Amino acid sequence: MLKVTEIYKSIQGESRFAGYPCIFIRLTGCNLRCSYCDTRYAYNKGKDMSIAQILDNIKPFKTKLVQITGGEPLLQKETPQLAQKLLSLGYKVLIGTNGTQDISKIDKRVVKLMDIKCPDSKESEKILWGNLRHLKINDEIKFVLCGRKDYSFAKSIVNKYGLTKSTRVVFSPSFKTLSSNKLAGWILKDGLGIRLGLQIHKYLNLA
């Protein structure tokens, strides 16, 4: 069984799949309490559902792009099995993770969207750095930035681990905290080979 907060279809707002219709399976529970978290309602409660019940719920949505998200979905032991079942049914599967749980147990065909938390999140010390070696070029690392200190931190991590050579890197401004124009200026000035990521769904007032 998996504890599920919600299942819905919307426009994917982030990653290289931004703009596409996507099914979101939001699992319950998170081991972090980021300062800017916009899904605090997923910390607890939720509904117990079997993988079969989840699959029945997503059938009517008529799209083959699905993201398993949270909370932190890898806290639940059946998440890898859910991903594998979705893959076997022909879905393109994304998983959003905060980087504190072992991602090696996830099928290599799943696109991992992994956060690295910056200092202003108040949770930057908890990442499992060993996860970096399991990321491929089709996966993504996202840094959510609240200000210049976070930007400097993110830039130093990108350079230290040579992240742009092994995977895709996204710098995303914390919504209504850091101006996207300001962040774009920093990226252009420093000549970083990374992508500016905006949360399209928020600009569209979608979930």
DSSP letter (8 states) at residue 177: T
CA-CA-CA-CA torsion sign (20, 25, 30, 33): positive
What single letter denotes the amino acid at residue 144? V
Find the DSSP H helices in 49-179. Answer: 51-58, 79-88, 148-161, 163-166
Q: Which residues of the chain have pLDDT under 50?
A: none
Find the DSSP H helices in the chain. Answer: 51-58, 79-88, 148-161, 163-166, 180-190, 200-203
Q: Is 155 helix (H, G, I), strand (E, B) or coil?
A: helix
DSSP letter (8 states) at residue 174: P
What CATH number corresponds to the domain at position 71? 3.20.20.70
Range of the domain at 86: 2-203
- Per DSSP bridges, beta strands 92-97 and 65-69 are parallel
What pLDDT sits at residue 176?
A: 75
pLDDT tens per residue across span 134-180? 999 999 999 999 999 999 999 999 999 999 999 999 999 997 789 99
- Give the 3-state secondary structure percentages of the chain, helix then strand then coil, rounded to 5: 35, 25, 45
- Give the chain's domain count: 1
CA distance 164 to 174: 21
The encoded tokens of residue 77 equal 């032991």
What pLDDT sits at residue 177?
A: 83
